[in-house]
């Protein structure tokens, strides 16, 4: 337990310090390549029907889930069996690679920098790298909202949830979570192409993020006291708007962020050329401004530090107790 806590702390520290340098090949890219390869193969051999596509999604879950868990499990087993320090360093490295706080901040701040330069086309291009919606027609307000929403949602998906599963089951469970999350990001769409094939990967991702999303929301509310954002409003909007999304999880951290920053998020958005009507989150108390991207990142970092501290301390206490 204490070794896992130390690996978690070191992994978070390395992420905050280094982030994801482009020269370092990321495991999620390998998972993504495996998903693409398996999707093509499964679609080729299974019936082109609703049942066949759903079966393909189930098989994809089993294969990607097995690979995502088993590869780091056996690598760590070998390392820990050879040398405890080597195992600890490898597990810390795995944790570092799967936590995305600094990369989330760096990519969202590119949007901020383009807005500061007054370049709406540049800001649209920058935000297109971190959101799934269509960005070609986004106004300045829409760009800011998209960036803030991405930071808010990925506080859970990209930081707190990985740390939660790292604490719960070490790097193998962390990798399993990232495998599930990557499947959802690649095939979990409601489009005609993925409505059936991605149905069960999307449902599994909803299940995997159920607890982390709610933990993230309350940690983010607590972080308001350190970032000097409005914790009271964050709590009120969270309780009111946390279900204002088709996903059972996505609105939780978005609602906290909207309340903390006194802005309104969400609303209608275009995906793959089609307009989707979505409820708003938060009150329209003021116009979003570029500085809100920085404020959202501050909340994300505060929440991330609290998550690392809480999960790490729990692991240490459990290790001492048992």
Q: pLDDT by residue (tens digit) across 265-320?
A: 986 565 555 656 678 899 988 999 999 999 999 999 999 999 999 999 999 888 75
* Per-residue pLDDT at 194 exceeds 90: no
Burial profile 112-143: b = 16 or more Cβ within 10 angstroms, e = fewer: bebbeeeeeeebbebbbebbebbbeebebebb
Provide the number of structural domains found in the chain.
Answer: 1
Half-sphere exposure of 118 toward its Cβ, with a 13 Å CA cutoff? Answer: 0
Is 90 exceeded by the pLDDT of residue 23?
A: no
150 Ramachandran zone, left/alpha/beta (phi>0; psi -120 to 50): alpha
- Better pLDDT: 41 or 250: 41
Q: Quick check: 90 and 175 in contact, CB under 8 A? A: no
Residue 186's domain comprises 2-321
Mean pLDDT of 7-12: 96
Overall average pLDDT of the 217-227 stretch: 96
- Name residues whose C-beta falls within 8 Å of residue 111's C-beta, 6 or more positions apart in sequence: 123, 126, 127, 130, 143, 144, 147, 293
Residue 58 reports pLDDT greater than 70:
yes
Q: Looking at residues 64-71, what average pLDDT do you find?
A: 96
Q: How many residues does the chain have?
A: 322
- Does 127 have pLDDT greater than 70? yes
Confidence of residue 193 (pLDDT cuts 50, 70, 90): confident
Name the least confident of 27-36, 96-105, 134-143: 134-143
Average pLDDT of the segment spanning 27-36: 94
Q: Where are the beta strands (DSSP E) in the chain?
A: 265-266, 269-271, 274-276, 280-281
What is the predicted pLDDT for the residue at 269?
61
Share of the chain above pLDDT 70, in %: 95
Enumerate residues 6+ apart whose C-beta is below 8 A from 83. none
Mean pLDDT of the chain: 91
Tokens of 38: 């398996």
Q: What is the pLDDT, as a whole number, of residue 320?
A: 57
Do the Cβ atoms of 241 and 152 come closer than 8 Å? no
Say if residue 17 is exposed, middle or buried (CB neighbours under 10 Å; 0-12, 13-18, 19+). exposed
Binned at pLDDT 50, 70 and 90, residue 86 comes out as very high
- Residue 322: the pLDDT is 46
Q: Is the pLDDT of residue 119 over 80?
A: yes
Phi/psi at 61 (5° precision): -60, -45
């Amino acid at each position: 337990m204490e070794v896992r806590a130390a690996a978690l702390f070191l992994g978070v520290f390395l992420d905050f310090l280094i982030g994801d340098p482009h020269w370092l090949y990321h495991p999620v890219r390998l998972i993504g390549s495996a998903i693409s390869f398996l999707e093509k193969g499964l679609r080729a051999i299974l019936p082109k029907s609703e049942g066949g596509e759903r079966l393909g999604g189930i098989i994809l879950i089993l294969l990607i889930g097995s690979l995502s868990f088993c590869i780091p499990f056996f690598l760590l087993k070998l390392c820990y069996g050879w040398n405890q320090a080597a195992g600890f360093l490898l597990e810390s490295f795995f944790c570092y690679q799967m936590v995305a706080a600094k990369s989330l901040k760096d990519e969202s701040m590119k949007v901020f920098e383009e807005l500061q330069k007054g370049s709406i086309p540049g800001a649209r291009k920058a935000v297109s790298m971190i959101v799934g919606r269509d960005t070609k027609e986004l106004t300045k307000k829409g760009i800011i909202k998209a960036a803030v929403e991405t930071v808010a949602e990925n506080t859970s998906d990209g930081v707190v949830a990985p740390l939660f599963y790292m604490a719960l089951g070490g790097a193998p469970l962390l990798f399993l979570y990232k495998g599930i999350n990557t499947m959802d990001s690649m095939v979990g769409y409601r489009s005609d192409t993925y409505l059936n094939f991605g149905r069960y990967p999307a449902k599994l991702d909803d299940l995997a993020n159920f607890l982390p999303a709610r933990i993230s929301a309350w940690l983010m509310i607590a972080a308001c006291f350190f970032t000097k954002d409005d914790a009271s409003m964050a709590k009120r909007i969270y309780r009111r708007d946390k279900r204002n999304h088709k996903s059972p999880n996505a609105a939780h951290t978005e609602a906290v962020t909207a309340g903390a920053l006194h802005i309104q998020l969400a609303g209608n958005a275009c995906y793959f050329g089609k307009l989707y009507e979505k409820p708003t989150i938060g009150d329209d108390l003021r116009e979003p401004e570029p500085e809100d991207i920085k404020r959202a990142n501050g909340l994300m970092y505060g929440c991330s530090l609290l998550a690392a501290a809480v999960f790490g301390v729990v692991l240490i206490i459990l290790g001492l107790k048992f």
